Amino acid sequence: MSLLEIKDLKVRVDNHDILKGINLTVNPGEVHSIMGPNGSGKSTLAQVLARREAYEVTGGQILYNGKDLLEMKAEDAACEGVFLAFQYPVEIPGIGNAYFLRSALNAIRKYHGLDEMDAMDFLPFFREKLKLLEMDEKLMNRSVNEGFSGGEKKRNEILQMAVLEPKLAILDETDSGLDIDALKIVAKGVNSLRSPQRAMIVVTHYQRLLNYIVPDFVHVLVNGRIVRSGGPELALELEDKGYVDIEDARQPMPA
């Protein structure tokens, strides 16, 4: 059984049709990249998968592990193993990073009938993940994302993913705004989490990230539809020709 099956998904935001019939199947162990120009619906797709309620689903179906994902609340989807690395991670003053992560981990453990992890057990496990993302432990006593640099925020997202160990991770433009060093660290973190049980959807605007996280499949999303799918070589072609040519190829403009 595939992990994720999106069938003819249609989504509307503020009376605008954003997604106009998306079809996508993701199996465990696969890494899919979704590329596309600004406003093509990439982030909307990512947010719908993470169950943000502000988006109105007007048609289609999403099966996750055989269950209807659209019936799940955000927290239930998270507990079932869906993880979204935010394009713009949210700053939450007053909640400590480590405390937040342990609360999240324990919420998920509780959902699965496991014992909660206390601070003593959590710490060594957590330190190991910090090391993977080359993050300073001091950041963890600060409030969630507060005063973090752009790169620190993105690394913090991957750190959360490493701690929560999802089945399906969606990375929404995790590479945007990163310098090459930060990008390499993020990619290393992501690659270390690749496993035969875990699938990833890497949403990106730029081909650069895919040099470091090599996907199994690349899909091009334009104007709410996947217009082309292929292997990693498609990303290079995009880099070369740009999205316009792809779109033009699909809908030739009259001369």
Partner 1 sequence: MITATEQLATYLDSFTEFQKRAAGHDLPWLRRLRDNAFARFCEVGFPTTHDEDWRFTSVSAIARMPFELAGTQTLAEDELRQFRVPGAACQLVFVNGHFVRELSVIEKLPIGVKVNGLAEEIKSNSVAVESHLGRYLNTQRDAFSALNTAFAEDGGYVHVRKGTVLEAPIYLLFISTASDRPLMTHPRNLIVIEQEAQATVVEDYVSIGESTAFCNTATELVAGENAVVSHYMLEREHQKAFNISTLRIQQERSANVSSHSVLLGGGLVRNNVHPVLAGEGGECLINGLFIGNGHQHLDNYMLVEHASPHCGSRQFYNGILDDHAHGVFHGRIVVHKDAQKTDAKQTNRNLLLSDDAQIDTKPQLEIYADDVKCTHGATIGQIEENALFYLRSRGIDEVSARKLLLMAFASECLDRMSASPARDHVEKLIHEYLLRLTAARPENQDRRTGVPTPHTRNWEEMG
Question: End-to-end distance of the chain based on CA atoms, in angstroms?
Answer: 46
Q: Hey, what are 196's tokens?
A: 């035969």
Report the residue number, 58 or 103, with the smaller CB distance to partner 1.
Answer: 103
According to DSSP, the residues that pair with 9 across neighbouring strands are 22
Q: Which is nearer to partner 1, 79 or 186 (CB)?
A: 79
Work out how close the CB of 155 gets to partner 1 at its nearest, in angstroms, rounded to a whole number.
16
Q: How far is the CB of 88 from partner 1 (least distance, A)?
A: 9
CB of 117 to partner 1, least distance (A): 13
Q: Between 79 and 226, whose beta carbon lies closer to partner 1?
A: 79
Element (H, E) at 101: helix 97-111
Output 35 or 159, the one with its CB closest to partner 1.
159
Q: How far is the CB of 250 from partner 1 (least distance, A)?
A: 33
**Using CB under 8 A as the criterion, which residues of the chain lie in contact with partner 1 when the complex forms?**
50-52, 54, 73-75, 77-79, 83-84, 86, 89-90, 92-95, 100, 103-105, 107-108, 111, 143, 160, 164
